[in-house]
């Protein structure tokens, strides 16, 4: 029982392809939509670091079937694992689902600030900020 209530490691371990087989990756992808916040969050923390285009495309393909409250983190995983993360974020900004739009803004802010090429993220960040301002929200990355 103590294991169930133990906090996850901080930071969560990265996705090491040498330690995960295809079945393990499939379980983590499924866990992104879990009703358990802890399980979904753990899967997110592991998969967001995978840098595996196959993971990105599989998660993106399953977004429509995900519960609404799990779609944002799953979309961030899809963007972070895309072969062109800024392009993927831009496509998600075009989507009519607010969770996916929010994911695009969050992924752009996260990935641009962690070793991403700021120049390639600038248009996405500007567009996300413009759309959030038009919706009356505080733009990502600013104090409100």
Q: pLDDT tens, 38-74? A: 999 999 998 998 889 999 999 999 999 999 999 999 9
| pLDDT at residue number 135 | 56
| pLDDT at residue number 127 | 85
What's the chain look like in SS3?
CCCCCCCCCCCCCCCCCCCCCHHHHHHHHHHCCCCCHHHHHHHHHHHCCCCCHHHHHHHHHHHHHCCHHHHHHHHHHHHHCCCCHHHHHHHHHCCCCHHHHHHHHHHHHHHHHCCCCHHHHHHHHHHHHHHHHHCCCCCCCCCC
Instruction: Report if pTM > 0.85.
Output: no
pLDDT at 7 over 80: no
Domain ranges of the chain: 22-134
């Amino acid at each position: 029982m103590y294991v169930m209530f133990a906090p996850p490691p901080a930071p969560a371990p990265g996705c090491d392809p040498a330690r995960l087989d295809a079945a393990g990756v499939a379980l983590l992808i499924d866990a992104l939509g879990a009703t358990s916040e802890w399980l979904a969050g753990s899967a997110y923390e592991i998969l967001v670091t995978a840098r595996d285009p196959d993971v990105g495309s599989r998660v993106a393909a399953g977004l429509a079937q995900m519960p609404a409250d799990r779609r944002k983190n799953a979309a961030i995983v899809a963007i972070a694992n895309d072969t062109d993360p800024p392009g993927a974020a831009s496509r998600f900004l075009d989507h009519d689902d607010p969770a996916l739009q929010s994911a695009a803004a969050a992924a752009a802010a996260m990935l641009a600030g962690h070793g991403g090429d700021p120049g390639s993220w600038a248009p996405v960040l500007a567009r996300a900020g413009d759309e959030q301002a038009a919706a009356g929200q505080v733009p990502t990355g600013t104090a409100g």
